[in-house]
Every structure is written in structure tokens, then in C-alpha cells.
Amino acid sequence: MSNAANVALTALRSFVRKLDVTANNIANVNTEGFKKSQTVLQEAYPSGVKVSISQVETPGMPLPADESHPDSKETSNVVLEDELADLIVTQHMYDANLATIRTEEEMQGTVLDLIV
């Protein structure tokens, strides 16, 4: 398998992790005090893509105190619109890397056909 296909495979794995993080954020959009996570994709040495996941500490919107919880509470800091937009971008990047692998397969098949 070529270097381009290996890079595309590591990217696909990274996008799956990114989708997992986004799904967790969306699932907890209504969980009081939940802090969303974010993924950062970076180039890995010597080739490939690696994922770094970190928690975003920005506060959510404050909730009014009630008798049972006099302490201040807050909503999650997940912005659903941002998460959905991120899903669309991730899908396109996943598809592009999948196309790279398919093209590599087709090229190898063509070379084998020429040899035989």
C-alpha cells in the first residue's frame, strides 16, 4: 500500500474519533454543567494524522437557583449548531480520504492489468 493510502487510512481513523467526540457532545447538549470536548487533527511523523482531544472549559449559560440546588448551575457549553456544522465538514473530509484509498486501489489494479 502506498504512503498516500496509509495517510488516508490514519485520517479515516482520526475522523472516526472526531465523530465519536462530536456525538458525545451532541448527546450531552442538555446535561447541566457538561463541558464539551474538541478534537484537533495534526500531522503525525513520519506520515499520517493524529488526534488530540481536549475539554473546552468555557462556561455554559447560568441557570437560576432553586430550593433543591441553591448553588449556581449552568447549562452545557455545547452549541448544537456548531456541532452539526462540524459533522458536515467531517463527513466531507472522511469522503475525500475514502476517495484517495479507492483511487489508489484503481491505480494498482490498472498497473497489474498492464503487467499481466
pLDDT values of the chain reduced to their tens digit, one per residue, 116 residues: 567 788 888 999 999 999 999 999 999 999 999 999 999 999 888 888 899 999 999 988 888 777 666 677 889 999 999 999 999 999 999 999 999 888 888 887 777 767 76
Lookup result for grid cell 441553591: 70
Cβ(86)–Cβ(79) below 8 Å: no
65-74 LR contacts (CB < 8 Å, sep 24+): 73/32, 73/33, 74/32, 74/33
